[in-house]
């Protein structure tokens, strides 16, 4: 399967997941709004959702792919089985710990929610939702094994079960007349059930056919398994850097009324382009870079990295500009209904505009980290993630005090900038940062195309200052068409890009 077909399959699955996620969040806003119950539920939902996003976007792949890729298929299947068994036991222990310590965890997740009653709801929803981590994490590890065998179909589509299950639950709750506290409890329970169903689907795919990626047995502490166990936690932490920045921002936002909800809804919109790039990087780009590192040398690795950076910016720069320009109509069209008031639209739009500034840097971080992952340099990526987290916490608190929720969003964007900068420093030290004139020229052409699109969107918004759903769709479609035309005219996309994408790995 060519890199283009693999990327399209993973990309379409990711887009479908994000579309379902948007539908889910629209229903969240309609049912729960942005009040205390919504803040409590979304604060509790943040932790299992963070794990789900990180592992679904290939968060464990940096630990799995380089090690298992060096083994013979039979030995790789046995080590994969050992990893699965040990990870299942560790996850069971983690879930049990969270169930017991949900109260202190609630205070840690949202220290600013204040009242004992609200923090009690956070603890309750955490207990109900956290078992999803067991199912989703094991399912994502199984999906990584399937991806290594280039069996992308089930691995890509299985995550749709989680959002699909929550949507069905929300539609069912809409027919009942329950208190918001009970509605949120049912949603938390449904997320756990959907995570276990996702695991069942992946397990069935792993056990089907003679070429099984996983062979279960009594675990043997082999050198390969030791390497994977040492690398797993740093890989998760480094892969989930942006999610951790948002978690830090959520803790700060909990001191603002409805702040947790506004940040959640805005970040969900930003995750559409970022999640697509992250899924492609973890599922398709990382195995490609790992293969080039093993067989083709440094020059081929750097060339692949630069091409991936250019293609990522081709998506991220216009997406960031469009989100900043259309922040208010996006928030209004997606969420303004039911319990979600006009004040919530303004707050969510303000946060979305602040987050959009960090989208290109978050994208750079996703791509640049894959090169270090391919080399097995997890310690460096862990350092970069910690630097970004510290920057987010410091800048988010300071800017939040000065500018409110918009300042917290800018603090998260600054964390993304620091993270990307730290990765560049690490790559320079390793001799893996050489951009060249061709890359700089392509980025300039992408920026020019983005500027042309922005002018068109600004003019369209002046003509339709308060667009409805159809008006917003027309603005987005027109902006996409304008960007595509400008990218072609300025030469932002070259025939070499398409040739590389369709080349067999």
Residue 461 within a domain: no
Residue 205 within a domain: yes
The predicted-structure confidence for 334-373, as pLDDT tens digits, reads as follows 888 777 888 999 999 999 999 999 999 998 888 888 777 6
Specify whether the CB–CB gap between 71 and 224 falls below 8 A: yes
Same domain, 297 and 276: yes
Same domain, 373 and 332: yes
Residue 376 within a domain: yes
Same domain, 288 and 396: yes
Residue whose entry in the numeric block shows the structure tokens 């505009």: 353
**In this model, does residue 474 exceed pLDDT 90?**
yes
At 357 the three-state DSSP class reads coil
What is the sign of the dihedral through the CA atoms of 437, 440, 446 and 450?
negative
Residue 104 within a domain: yes
Same domain, 9 and 85: yes
Residue 92 within a domain: yes
User: Where is the domain boundary, 405, 435, 465?
Assistant: 435
Same domain, 62 and 82: yes
Same domain, 390 and 338: yes
The predicted-structure confidence for 361-416, as pLDDT tens digits, reads as follows 998 888 888 777 666 667 788 889 999 999 999 999 999 999 999 999 999 999 99
Domain span at 91? 1-238
Same domain, 245 and 313: yes
Residue 428 class from Cβ within 10 Å (0-12 exposed, 13-18 middle, 19+ buried)?
exposed
**In this model, does residue 151 exceed pLDDT 80?**
no
Same domain, 180 and 247: no
Number of domains present in the structure of the chain: 2
Residue 115 within a domain: yes
The predicted-structure confidence for 437-460, as pLDDT tens digits, reads as follows 888 888 999 999 999 999 999 999
Residue 477 within a domain: no
User: Where is the domain boundary, 399, 415, 435?
Assistant: 435
**In this model, does residue 138 exceed pLDDT 60?**
yes
Same domain, 261 and 113: no
Same domain, 30 and 175: yes
Same domain, 310 and 181: no
pLDDT of 504: 46
Q: Bigger pLDDT: 496 or 125?
A: 125
Residue 8 within a domain: yes
This prediction has a pTM of: 0.77
Same domain, 144 and 109: yes
User: Where is the domain boundary, 435, 468, 500?
Assistant: 435
Specify whether the CB–CB gap between 141 and 64 falls below 8 A: yes
């Amino acid at each position: 399967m060519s890199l283009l077909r693999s990327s399209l399959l993973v990309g379409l699955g990711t887009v479908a997941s994000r579309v379902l996620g948007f539908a889910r969040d629209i229903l969240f806003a309609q049912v729960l709004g942005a009040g205390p119950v919504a803040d409590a539920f979304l604060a509790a939902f943040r932790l299992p959702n963070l794990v789900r996003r990180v592992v679904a976007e290939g968060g464990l792949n940096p630990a799995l792919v380089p090690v298992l890729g060096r083994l013979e298929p039979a030995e790789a299947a046995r080590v994969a089985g050992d990893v699965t068994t040990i990870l299942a036991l560790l996850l069971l222990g983690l879930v049990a710990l969270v169930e017991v310590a949900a109260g202190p965890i609630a205070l840690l997740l949202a220290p600013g929610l204040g009242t004992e009653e609200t923090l009690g709801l956070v603890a309750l929803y955490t207990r109900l939702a956290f078992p999803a981590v067991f199912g989703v994490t094991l399912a994502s590890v199984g999906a990584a094994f399937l991806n290594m065998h280039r069996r992308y179909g089930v691995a890509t589509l299985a995550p749709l079960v989680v959002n699909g299950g929550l949507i069905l639950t929300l539609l069912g709750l809409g027919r009942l007349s329950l208190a918001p506290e009970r509605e949120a409890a049912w949603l938390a329970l449904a997320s756990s059930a959907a995570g276990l169903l996702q695991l069942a689907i992946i397990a069935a795919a792993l056990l089907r056919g003679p070429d099984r990626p996983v062979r279960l047995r009594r675990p043997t502490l082999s050198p390969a398994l030791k390497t994977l166990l040492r690398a797993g936690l740093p890989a998760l932490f480094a892969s989930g850097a942006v999610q951790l920045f948002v978690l830090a921002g959520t803790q700060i936002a909990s001191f603002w009324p409805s702040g947790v909800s506004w940040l959640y809804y805005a970040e969900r919109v930003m995750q559409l382009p970022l999640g697509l790039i992250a899924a492609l990087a973890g599922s398709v780009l990382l195995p490609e870079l790992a293969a080039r590192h093993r067989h083709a040398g440094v020059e081929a690795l750097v060339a692949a990295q630069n091409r991936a950076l250019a293609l990522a910016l081709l998506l991220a720069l216009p997406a960031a500009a469009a989100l900043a320009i259309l922040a208010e109509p996006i928030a209004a069209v997606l969420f303004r209904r039911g319990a979600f008031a006009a004040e919530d639209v303004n707050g969510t739009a303000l946060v979305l505009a602040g987050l959009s500034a960090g989208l290109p840097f978050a994208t750079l971080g996703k791509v640049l980290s894959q090169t270090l992952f391919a080399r097995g340099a997890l310690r460096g990526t862990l350092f970069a993630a910690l630097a970004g987290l510290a920057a987010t916490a410091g800048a988010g608190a300071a800017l939040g005090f000065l500018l409110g929720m918009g300042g917290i969003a800018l603090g998260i964007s600054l964390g993304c900038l620091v993270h990307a900068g730290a990765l560049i420093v690490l790559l320079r030290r390793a001799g893996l940062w050489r951009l060249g004139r061709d890359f700089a020229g392509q980025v300039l052409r992408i920026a020019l195309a983005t500027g042309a699109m922005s002018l068109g969107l600004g003019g369209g918004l002046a003509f339709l200052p308060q667009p409805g759903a159809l008006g917003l769709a027309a603005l987005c479609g027109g902006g996409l068409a304008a960007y595509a035309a400008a990218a072609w005219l300025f030469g932002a996309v070259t025939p070499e890009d398409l040739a590389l994408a369709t080349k067999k790995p």
